[in-house]
Structure 1
Amino acid sequence: MFSRFQRFYTSIKVAADVVMLTLAFVLAYVTRFEGPIPVVYGLPPLEETLLSLATVLIVFPVTYRQARLYATNRARTHIGEVFEVFKATIMATLIVVALTYFTRERYSRLMLAFFSGYAFVGVSTVRLVLREVLNEVRRRGFNLKSILVIGAGELGQRVIDTVESHKELGFRVVGVLSLRPEKVGQQVLGVPVLGHVKEVDAVLDSRPVDQVIIALPLEDQAAVKPLMEQLALRTVDVKVVPDLYQYVTLYGGLEEFGGLPIISLQGDPMTGWNMVAKRVFDILFSLVAIGVSAPVMLAVAIAVKLTSRGPVLYAQERMGMDGETFHILKFRTMRVDAEVTGAKMASKDDPRRTPIGTFLRKYSLDELPQFFNVLWGDMSLVGPRPERPVFIEEFKRQIPRYHLRHKVKAGITGWAQINGLRGQTSIQKRIEYDLYYIENWSLLMDLKILIRTALGGFLSKNAY
């Protein structure tokens, strides 16, 4: 039943794509040759237009098929679907350009550009509409893929909960098998425990099952080998949920190395082009910031020098990316002898401050020299605020996952800071905001944080 519906649904997608591609071609033709754009060389011959349409209606569906846009992928998101259509449309357009270049002397490049845009919008829209229709069908209980979960423990319960939370994907857990005989006949999150794991053959023979998901804890991994040998004799799809995700901390997941699947428990978000893009972003913006703030920095330097004895700048050791230390630059806001008795965190109404120090800290003007730290590569414009090594050991013992904030460069400003977490606010809360930033990083997010900072994100009652 499912395979028949799948073939029927695939044929609907192909037909819908052909209709939208034809409509996009007609709209592109009208836009180019019957719109306000001047036609210099006259209208193309009808034969050439029809040949171009035929080429499009062959190349585009074939390219979409190669991009697996006609394959069923229930886990693909709406945005993922649109992005895949975009990539396949660009590829198909390039193929059409190459074919027309080698087969005909002339064609309208502008019309082809219009067509590519119309095709992307039209096909994407139809795809999203079809997905919503199918999702509604699945929510009503039709066209469901049945799943048998092996494992009634916490991991198996997570699988059931995930499936039940995403009914629109079209999965349904029909039963559970357990290694614990006492659980047979009971229910796990409303799903019946049909039998012992050893009875998997009998259960599969007694009811239709599309997919088996093995969700056994690490201590029960000895049972997986004989289970896999049994399932290898069947055509049912088999998935394994490794009992390692409890140890996944930051940017973990499934990776592939030379065809070898590897589970990463802890990764680095700033690698490859991400690292290059962020570094270029930092260099460009720090150069602009230094140029714009140079008069302010000069005025602050003069004020610091005139109001207290000692150097204008203060270099303090901080810990940055991968635990490497560097010296952060700040305009001095405290007396030269402020730490003769040892390191101490700043506090409200701190008696060690210079006459102008309170003002500089309130408006974060003491942080301006850190743009040079960014330019040199010690810091980034946006990231977790760096702490002093003398305090970090204590934080690491008290706060789980504290060390993960050092997976990226420290920043002048950050997600925690624009949300008011400065000074003697909750370190635990700051870490939560820092890790959220690292896990959701993008250049757009950096830009938003910088804009909010410029609009007053550092004007916090906790700044002292």
Structure 2
Amino acid sequence: MHSASPPHKGMSFTRFHGFAVLFRLVDMVIVPFSLLLAQAVAGRQLDDPLLASILAIAGFSFFAESLSLYRSWRSTRLMKLLATNFAAWFLAGLFVLTCSYLVPARLSIDSEILILWAVVGLLVFGTFRILGRQLIFSLRRRGYNTQTAAILGVTRSGLAMARSLEENPQLGIRLIGFFDDREPGRFDGIGERQPVLLGNIDQAIKLARSNAVDVLYIAMPMRAEERITEILMMCGDSTASVHIIPDFFVYNLLYARWHEVGEVQSLSVYDSPLDDLTSWVKRVEDILLATVILTIVALPMLVIALVIKLTSAGPVLFKQHRYGLDGRKIEVWKFRSMTSQDNGPVVQQAVRNDPRVTRFGAFLRRTSLDELPQFFNVLAGQMSVVGPRPHAVAHNEEYRALINGYMLRHHMKPGITGWAQINGWRGETDTLEKMQKRLEFDLAYIRNWSVWLDIKIVIRTVFQGFTSSNAY
């Protein structure tokens, strides 16, 4: 643990949102620069590019401020930053287009140039945001643009926060140490690691009041409500940011966010990572991927259907009830690979050399080609291309009684491929430990979801996920 040290190494202007000012100025340059590039690609220019640029700058600035684009993104995922930037740019484009319809004589918009302008703008904005973020991260790792933090309470949740801060230096939050009113001998159950104790909580408050500490993390048990309230009252005489880490965060939370019910705020601890914007983004991702893949595999699917019909008796497709988003039943489609079609209260998993599996069905199952019809489930909105694999209803009912937190995997739509599958947890789960491991990866996917993670999983599935020694 770090010892107490001077709070900042340099770049004091960043304490007054200097980076936000810089980003605003660069954004105002990116807008007309993108138009110039679009016009160069098109080989012609708008009738009044200056007016179009002014309107686009005004629109983008308004929507960027409305969406809080220039707030601190210190501990927020890159994907959310990019989505906010792109949303502001999209709305600015609609604003310019609306103006062109209202005053067509003054502002005539070439549709081809407008589309090019939008695409080029996305690329330039995205590149700038990624490079800018990496530059800031690099500066923070070197000690610039940093904030100092203190943790009040030597607890498991406090130690977890300390580890997280140390493992993510790019956040620029330097931990000076712990403060606790108890003697070190009373720190129960914290493990072998003994944290640096710099003093009691009153001393931490004094540091905050003197601006020697920027962030205070209160990591005390929820039962210490009166003491927490007292600390918050004292923190009101400082400019430090104060965060409470409830002790229930040491448990297996899925996704937490604040909600407002009238004037009352509540904290959801088991929730989906998808909000209105990101759920729309994932849905667009699913439609695009499913459409492209079905276009590519349409002919092979017809061949597979014909071979199934010619080599064994029964329907081409096997439909089975499974749990979808929020545990609602859906009907999942697969190419039939067995002679039986279990879909009741008892469903036996396929095992090695299973006599129910047809000869052609064994090939389909090894290569995952039997899953191809599920892309129609994706287009119907019942499944995603990437997500926790859906299990038969009978298996869900069995494992929810055996594994704590099993049903949390249904906080996202089930997927054709997933994080567990590309990490080797595909196929038969003949032991409870295997299902627990699959659940562990499913929940890790939900906690860390991003479009980039989905793309990574799809790419790895293409190169390694179609076959498995555990799939039969």
Looking at structure 2, the residues matched to 169 and 27 of structure 1 have their Cα atoms a distance apart, in angstroms, of: 30
- The answer for the alignment partner of 2:336 in structure 1 is 331
- Normalising by the residue count of structure 1, what TM-score does the alignment of the two structures yield? 0.69
- The answer for the alignment partner of 1:106 in structure 2 is 106
Tell me the SS of whatever aligns to 1:429.
Answer: helix
- The answer for the alignment partner of 1:162 in structure 2 is 164
- The answer for the alignment partner of 1:422 in structure 2 is 427
- The answer for the alignment partner of 2:217 in structure 1 is 213
Looking at structure 1, the residues matched to 368 and 417 of structure 2 have their Cα atoms a distance apart, in angstroms, of: 10
Q: Counterparts in 2 of 1:166-181, with a 5 A limit?
A: 166-181=168-183
Out of 138, 141, 165, the position equivalent to 1:139 is: 141
Tell me the SS of whatever aligns to 2:224.
Answer: helix
- The answer for the alignment partner of 1:5 in structure 2 is 12
Are 2:150 and 2:204, in contact at CA under 8 Å, matched by a contact in 1? no
Are 2:179 and 2:199, in contact at CA under 8 Å, matched by a contact in 1? yes
- The answer for the alignment partner of 1:228 in structure 2 is 232
Give the percent of matched residue pairs that are identical in Structure 1 and Structure 2.
27
Count of residue pairs the alignment pairs up? 446
Structure-2 change in CA distance of 1:262 and 1:205 (3 Å): closer
Are 1:382 and 1:449, in contact at CA under 8 Å, matched by a contact in 2? yes
Shift of 1:216: 0.9
Mapped pair 1:435 → 2:443: yes
Q: Counterparts in 2 of 1:311-390, with a 5 A limit?
A: 311=314, 319-321=322-324, 322=327, 324=329, 331=336, 333-334=338-339, 344-351=348-355, 358=362, 361-362=365-366, 383-390=387-394
Looking at structure 2, the residues matched to 332 and 130 of structure 1 have their Cα atoms a distance apart, in angstroms, of: 51
Shift of 1:237: 3.0
Out of 34, 43, 67, the position equivalent to 1:37 is: 43
Unaligned segments of structure 2, at least 5 residues? 1-6, 187-192
Looking at structure 1, the residues matched to 379 and 37 of structure 2 have their Cα atoms a distance apart, in angstroms, of: 52
Structure-2 change in CA distance of 1:202 and 1:98 (3 Å): same
Q: Deviation digits for residues 243-262 of structure 1, max 9, x if unmatched?
A: 23234533333334445432
Aligned residue identity for 2:149? I
- The answer for the alignment partner of 2:4 in structure 1 is none
- The answer for the alignment partner of 2:198 in structure 1 is 193
Q: Deviation digits for residues 30-82 of structure 1, max 9, x if unmatched?
A: 974x89835797xx6xxx95x77777777766665555455554334555555
Are 1:347 and 1:424, in contact at CA under 8 Å, matched by a contact in 2? no
Out of 273, 287, 299, the position equivalent to 2:307 is: 299
Are 2:59 and 2:96, in contact at CA under 8 Å, matched by a contact in 1? yes
Out of 149, 152, 155, the position equivalent to 1:153 is: 155
Shift of 1:332: 6.4
- Normalising by the residue count of structure 2, what TM-score does the alignment of the two structures yield? 0.68
Q: Deviation digits for residues 73-106 of structure 1, max 9, x if unmatched?
A: 4334555555444444455566567778878953
Looking at structure 2, the residues matched to 11 and 328 of structure 1 have their Cα atoms a distance apart, in angstroms, of: 55
Looking at structure 2, the residues matched to 377 and 119 of structure 1 have their Cα atoms a distance apart, in angstroms, of: 31
Tell me the SS of whatever aligns to 1:156.
Answer: helix
Larger Rg: 1
Say what the alpha-carbon RMSD is for the aligned residues: 5.3
Out of 246, 255, 258, the position equivalent to 2:259 is: 255
Tell me the SS of whatever aligns to 2:216.
Answer: strand
Structure-2 change in CA distance of 1:9 and 1:98 (3 Å): farther
Are 1:301 and 1:331, in contact at CA under 8 Å, matched by a contact in 2? no
Mapped pair 1:242 → 2:246: yes
- The answer for the alignment partner of 2:3 in structure 1 is none
Structure-2 change in CA distance of 1:157 and 1:366 (3 Å): closer
Q: Deviation digits for residues 160-181 of structure 1, max 9, x if unmatched?
A: 2333333333333334321313
Looking at structure 2, the residues matched to 100 and 374 of structure 1 have their Cα atoms a distance apart, in angstroms, of: 38
Unaligned segments of structure 1, at least 5 residues? 306-310
